[in-house]
Amino acid sequence: MFAIDIQHFSKQYQGKEVIHDLNLQVNEGEIYGFIGPNGAGKSTTIKALLDFIKPTTGDLAIFSLDSQKQAKTIRQFTSYVSSEVRFYPNFTTMDLMKITADFHQIEHSKQAIDELIQLFEIAPNKKVVELSLGNRKKIALATSLLSNPRLLILDEPTNGLDPAIQHRLFTELKRRNAQGMTIFLSSHNLTEIQEYADRAAFIREGEIITVQSISKESSLGKVVKIVSNTLQTQDFPANYKILEHQDQQWRLLYTGENKELLQFLNQDSILDFTVQTPTLEDQFLSLYEGGAVK
C-alpha cells in the first residue's frame, strides 16, 4: 500500500499554475526525501496533501483515504511539523503535550511525555512566548511523535536545532521507522536526505523531475575532477555535466560507461584527475543549477 499517493495534482493561484501534473508515490515504511529550492512547490504539495488547501485538479491520498474527503480520519494517524512553528504564546510545553495526548486519546501518556521532554531537552513549564525558534521546533517534534503516528510529515525539521539535538532526532526517527512508521521528509539539507532517506523526489518549478533511490548511488554516475589548462566547455561530450569550473579545475558529473571515461581521461591535456561516487548534493547541482562556472 502507498502511504502517500498523488495523481495528476495541479494547483493554480490567481490563474498561475504553481504545481503541474505532479505524480508521487511513497511506500508504507519508507523514509522519503522531498527536495527542491524555495518556491519549487514542496510546501504547496504538503498543504494540499493535508487538506490545508484544495487542489485545482488531481487526486491526493494517504493510506488510500482521500485527502480532502477523509481529512478528519487521516489526522487521527498522521502528524505534521511545519517549517515555521507557531503555538498559542501562553501555553507551556506540558500544556501542549497534554492537549496532544487528550486529542489522540493516549492512555497513560505521562511516561511517553516525560521521555520526549528528556530526549529533546525541553523546559516543560516555560511558556511558548519565552522560547526561541529552536525550542519551539523541539516542542513541535515532541508533540508530533507523542501519538506515534503511522505517517509523519516533516518540513525542514532541523531548522533552529543544534547538532546534538539533530542527531537525537534522526536516531529516534530511524528507531520509529524500524517499527513501521512512514516518514516524509522535506528538507534543504541534502546531507540529511543522503544519510537517512530510502528514496528522494526532486521537484523544480512545480514538477517532479526525477526520483532517486538513495541506496543505489551508482545510478547517479561519477563525479570527475579534472585539472587541465587547455580544455574548454565544448570539449566535454553530452554525458558530462559541469558542476563547477574555476581556472584550470573542472568538476563534472559523468553518466556514461567506465570504458569511455577512461578513454577521455587518457588525454595529454589532462594533467590530473580524480573519480568519486557522487553525493546527493552533486545530483542537486546537476538538476537545478547546471553547475557553477566561475
Residue-wise pLDDT for 80-95, tens only, equals 999 888 899 999 999 9
- The answer to whether the beta carbons of residues 18 and 41 sit under 8 Å apart is yes
d(CA 109, CA 112): 5
CATH code matching the domain that covers 217-293, chosen among 1.10.3470, 3.30.70, 2.60.40, 3.40.50: 3.30.70
Check residue 210 and give its pLDDT.
84
The reported pLDDT for the residue numbered 222 is 85
Measured in residues, the chain has a length of 294
- Determine contact, residues 91/43, Cβ cutoff 8 Å: no
Distance in angstroms (rounded) separating the CA atoms of residues 24 and 41: 13
Q: What integer pLDDT is reported at residue 217 of this predicted model?
A: 45
Topology (CATH level 3) of domain 2-213: Rossmann fold (3.40.50)
**How many whole angstroms separate alpha carbon 264 and alpha carbon 137?**
50
Domains 2-213 and 217-293 fall in the same CATH topology = no
Are 14 and 57 within 8 A, CB to CB? no
Inter-axis angle of helices 110-119 and 133-146, nearest 10 = 150
* For residue 19, pLDDT beyond 50: yes
Which residue's entry shows cell 492537549? 99
Higher pLDDT pick, 289 / 149: 149
pLDDT attached to residue 293: 38
Contact 53, 82 (CB under 8 A): no
For residue 157, the SS3 value is: coil
Which pTM was predicted? Answer: 0.79
Listing DSSP states for 132-152 in one string gives -HHHHHHHHHHHHHHT--SEE
| Residue 292, pLDDT above cutoff 60 | no
Residue 75 has pLDDT above 60, yes or no: yes
Q: Return the higher-pLDDT residue of 62 and 204.
A: 62
Residue boundaries of the structural domains of the chain: 2-213, 217-293
1-15, pLDDT tens digit by residue?
Answer: 899 999 999 999 988
